[in-house]
A and B are shown apart, each in its own frame.
Chain A
């Protein structure tokens, strides 16, 4: 545990994993808030405005943690990964600086207007502010994905005399085919988080018979959005992303599936533990030939195995990569199943009274966070041992001047700081959920229990 490389990797992995718990909800909720504001504008129904206001509060708390944990990410490129920054800054500096100039300003400006300006703006202007918050947060996501995509699949660069790489084509960098699919896959993943969080809060209100009318809005919007996003997550985005990995990083695919030998008609492993020393899978449940079909669309296509690649180019933790990938895929399947059944019940007008389904929706909300985290772990562990795929190894990228002791110091500091942030976040969000959306200002709303106007059948 005194290898500086290991601590620098843990440092970045921990801070980025923790950070991404927040932007995924920000980016997932932003379009849903726009939908609520649009419904309010179209139907003139004030309850959608109250729903939007409630989610704006959760969004605001979440956004602040996202901002304060995001600043360390930009800093760490310099502090912990200075050799990488020196090598690649001439290329990825473009996308990182563009994120600041184009996305952050847009997002922070309109978030201020959205959160504090509702009384000063007209309804349409306030809707527009919500739309711009959505655009800003999704633009921010694109620039980060474009940066990561360049590390996965470097394009638009040239090597120069001092050993670094420099930009040669701006449009190749910005329109990297890897970035386009990765972005689509990542953003539908964020919407899955936003949608299931929204439906979970709605389900909680329906189960506890508080804020019932608002709870129904949350469940309805959440379930429909979750269904659309869960399907898009697998096809076409997940499928395209997987085939891109197969074409460009065959060794990564082999490690994700723990496929040791190159073979035609390769099987797909559903469950099982990779046994690296013996090069097999323990307790496997497999679908024969499915991997070949999924990657090359032919049942008997040849898929490359790990043993055809020098060991030094293998991802350095095959089991962790394998499990990240399988957890992601398994959870993605669960999301489709749950959202299809929930949407069916919604269509049959039985969802609001189907307690068993509401319980499932309530308990489901941590899983999208796990799935998104596992997805990112698949991408980043799969890129190993490279920092920039095929160009710069991870071992050559960290700050050689920063000793393991100094890196431990700040790593522990972040652990402590983020523990405090987590407690504050959970505490404040719990209070907002407990308080709930504003009550209906209509005449019926004078007495508490009457807010739940309308017959609610709860078994």
Chain B
């Protein structure tokens, strides 16, 4: 049962990254892709009806993590206290940046919120990448299952690490490059003309960066954590995951060069899923490894909630997800197609 919930949480996190990832990515690049007010309104219109629903996946994944692995939630959230507080502030700034921009038709007001939206999106991408890097690298857990990480110590990977060291900074940059490509491709799908051409161009520029950083981060991971491949040797089927990552990067390039925006976006989705599944697969059954003493590591066994709760939860979770799937298909169908500026009915 705990393994099942481990997979469920991993899938929910992956869905969150895929969905909110494209609107974070769109935010990170919109200052560079959209040159004037009309184009920025198009960017916002492309994500406006869906970004809030996408962000709900963060809450739903967090809630599910809390319910299935309470100790993991308690330990990691208090240990990552400082960066999480900053993530909260960034999420707030980003939300009001998107929603309040067009309430006042004034150039200064709008450009202020554009910059807020852009900067908070860029920083969120880096923070989320660094967070994942921390989970993979391990944290200074004590025997009681708790820890506290300062923002940085000496930037080295060791027993007393900070949130930021050279490894997690690389992870943050991988996330930024990935979401820039992801968001640009989403904008390319949703727009036409100049905007579409510029979005495609940005995706093209960042693809080599993404490939390079992916290679660097994988080498760095194997270098700092030699045992990271243990699960792969144990279950060789796991090697399909890196194959998926490489294949999707190649297909992304191919589809992009053929001006197939949807194909390229799907390849980007496959890449993100591959990277996250690859990390989860390498960790299992750990959920938060200890950099201090591996016997202190948090695993799915020592952090899971009681069996009865997990069984009951599976029933309502399944019902809930069927409903959610229905909502999302409905909304994305309704707002499908390219966005255009047709009067001001949508507010953006």
Contact = CB atoms under 8 A, between A and B. Distances in A.
Asked if A and B bind, the verdict is: yes
Interface of A: 60-61, 64-65, 67-69, 71-72, 74-75, 77-80, 82-83, 85-86, 88-91, 93-94, 96-102, 104-106, 108-109, 111-113, 115-120, 160, 164, 166-168, 170, 399-403, 406, 409-410, 413, 417, 421, 424, 428, 431
Contact of B62 (A75, A117, A167, A409): A75
Contacts of A113: 331, 334
Contact of A112 (B52, B76, B84, B88): B52
A79 B323 contact: no
Given A91-B309, A104-B56, A168-B308, A86 B74 contact: yes
A156 to B, nearest CB: 10
Nearest to B60: A100
A421 B73 CA distance: 28
A77 B79 CA distance: 13
A228 B75 CA distance: 46
The 3 closest A-B pairs by CB, nearest first: A89-B70, A78-B77, A166-B306
A431 to B, nearest CB: 7
Interface centre among A77, A105, A119 (most CB of B within 10 A): A105
B155 interface: no
| Interface range, B side | 35 or more
Looking at A79, A101, A413, A417, the one whose CB has the most chain B CB atoms below 10 A away is A101
Interface stretch (B20-28, B96-104, B191-199): B96-104
A401 B324 contact: no
Contacts of B75: 82, 86
B146 A105 contact: no
Contacts, number: 210
Contacts of A119: 345
A180 to B, nearest CB: 19
Interface string B58-85: 1111111011101101111111111011
21 contacts: A64-B99, A67-B52, A67-B95, A78-B66, A86-B74, A97-B60, A98-B316, A98-B320, A100-B56, A100-B63, A101-B320, A101-B324, A102-B316, A102-B323, A116-B48, A116-B346, A160-B306, A401-B81, A402-B148, A413-B85, A424-B96
B309 A166 contact: yes
A109 B76 contact: no
B63 A93 contact: yes
B54 to A, nearest CB: 9
Nearest to A60: B99
Interface string B274-314: 00000000000000000000000000000001101100110
B91 interface: yes
Contacts of A93: 63, 66-68, 70, 73, 305, 309
Contact of B306 (A90, A117, A402): A90
Contact of A410 (B74, B81, B308): B81
Nearest to B306: A166
A438 to B, nearest CB: 12
A170 to B, nearest CB: 4
Nearest to B45: A116
B50 A112 contact: yes
Given A83-B74, A93-B63, A116-B49, A167 B81 contact: no
B327 interface: yes
B66 A97 contact: yes
B67 A97 contact: yes
Interface in B315-348: 316-317, 320-321, 323-324, 327-328, 330-331, 334-335, 345-347
Given A89-B66, A401-B78, 19 more contacts: A64-B96, A64-B100, A71-B58, A72-B88, A74-B66, A77-B77, A78-B76, A86-B74, A89-B67, A89-B74, A90-B305, A97-B68, A101-B60, A101-B324, A113-B331, A167-B312, A399-B78, A402-B148, A410-B85
B147 interface: yes
B147 A401 contact: yes
B212 interface: no
Contacts of B146: 82, 400-401
B92 to A, nearest CB: 4
A100 B305 contact: no
Nearest to B80: A79
A157 to B, nearest CB: 9
Given A97-B313, A99-B63, A402 B85 contact: no
B56 to A, nearest CB: 4
B64 A97 contact: yes
A417 to B, nearest CB: 6
B89 interface: yes
B242 interface: no
Contact of B308 (A97, A166, A400): A166
Given A106-B323, A108-B52, A428-B100, A170 B71 contact: no
The CB with the most chain A CB atoms within 10 A, among B56, B71, B75, B100, is that of B56
A178 to B, nearest CB: 20
B53 interface: yes
B115 to A, nearest CB: 15
Nearest to B318: A101
B103 A431 contact: yes
Contacts of A98: 63, 316, 320
A367 B334 CA distance: 41
A382 B335 CA distance: 48
Contact of B334 (A60, A82, A115, A120): A120
Given A96-B66, A101-B320, A112-B331, A68 B95 contact: yes
A167 B308 contact: yes
Interface string B107-118: 000000000000
A428 B74 CA distance: 37
Contacts of A60: 99
Contacts of A421: 92, 96
A290 to B, nearest CB: 44
A104 B334 contact: no
A167 B315 CA distance: 15
B149 to A, nearest CB: 10
A101 B74 contact: no
B321 to A, nearest CB: 7
A94 B323 contact: no
B197 to A, nearest CB: 27
B85 A85 contact: no
Contacts of A85: 66, 70, 73-74, 77
A83 B100 CA distance: 37
A263 to B, nearest CB: 44
B60 A431 contact: no
Contacts of B77: 75, 77-79, 82, 85
A101 B78 contact: no
A77 B73 contact: yes
Nearest to A91: B309
Nearest to B113: A424
Contacts of B306: 90, 160, 166-167
Contacts of B316: 98, 101-102
